[in-house]
Amino acid sequence: MKRFLIAACVALFVLTNDTIQAQNIKPRFKALAIAEVGGGHVLFTAAAKTWLNKLAADSNFTVDYITDTKPITKDFLSQYQLFIQLNYPPYPWGSEAQEAFKDYMEQGRGGWIGFHHPTLLGVFDGYPMWQWYSDFMGGIMFKDYLPGGTAAKLTVEDAVHPAMKGLPASFTTKDEWYLYDKSPRPNVRVLASIDESTYDPAKEKKMGDHPVIWTNEHIKARNIYIAMGHFPELFNDEAYTTLVKNAIFWAAGK
């Protein structure tokens, strides 16, 4: 009986000590993700949250979620080493949120990843276009999109960039591709583009030069835009999840 009690006490001590140590482990970084409620991207958002939360738990970082830009101030953003624009357009931002985000990016106070919606640039719902944001995205304006989704072959143009590590030279994926008034290429570093001749089903709407993953090196903060962000099935695609994982740790400086 005595030996049993001693063994039980030792086991309890080890368990308690391990629990305390686990509680004292500092997260590698804190991420903030913004995603609007409802809309056409709600299923992508739900899948992304599930995937992100698992990655955060497995890799020792945290993710906080907001549904609009009202909380965004300079002080609020100072808590975070990574800003993920998971599903939120660039137009309904208040002036304080705009200035805080601009400062965050221009001063390199953290990294940024944007999925799909950030290039919905133009006049929507009575909001004027945010010109600084258009310049950040390469000086483009949204022109049209391919509703319903179209598969296309992506070609990796910059295999040496850390976000593209482990990706094949080309791979096929599907999205509701956005088309712009011009290519952002002259103003950004293009990491991947789509071959519009591979659209399946074929589409008449085309840009010609059509970058879909890029980074703006004129901005101090590490940043990457990923055009794919409409369908939840993307998180079953190994190439896509590899890209997103790479982007998270690169943009966060980890």
- What DSSP letter does each residue of 72-119 carry, written as one string? --HHHHTT-SEEEEEE--SSS--HHHHHHHHHHHHTTSSEEEEESGGG
User: By percentage, how much of the chain surpasses pLDDT 70?
Assistant: 91
User: By percentage, how much of the chain surpasses pLDDT 90?
Assistant: 87
Indicate the SS3 state at residue 213.
strand
**Model pLDDT for residues 20-31, shown as the tens digit of each residue:** 344 468 999 999
**Nearest alpha-carbon partner for 219 in 129, 114, 122:** 114
- Provide the 8-state DSSP code for 144: E
Mean pLDDT, rounded, for 28-39: 92
Instruction: Name the CATH superfamily, with its identifier, for domain 28-251.
Output: Class I glutamine amidotransferase (GATase) domain (3.40.50.880)
Whether this model's pTM surpasses 0.85: yes
User: pLDDT at position 39, please?
Assistant: 78
Cα separation, 248 vs 101, in Å, equals 18
Domain range list for the chain: 28-251
| 72 Cα distance to chain centroid | 17
**What phi, psi does 200 have (nearest 5°)?**
-140, 105
**Model pLDDT for residues 88-139, shown as the tens digit of each residue:** 999 999 999 999 999 999 999 999 999 999 999 999 999 999 999 999 999 9
Q: Exposure pattern of 71-95 as b/e (b: 16+ CB <10 Å)? A: ebbeebbeebbbbbbbbbbbbebee
Say whether pLDDT at 12 is over 60.
no
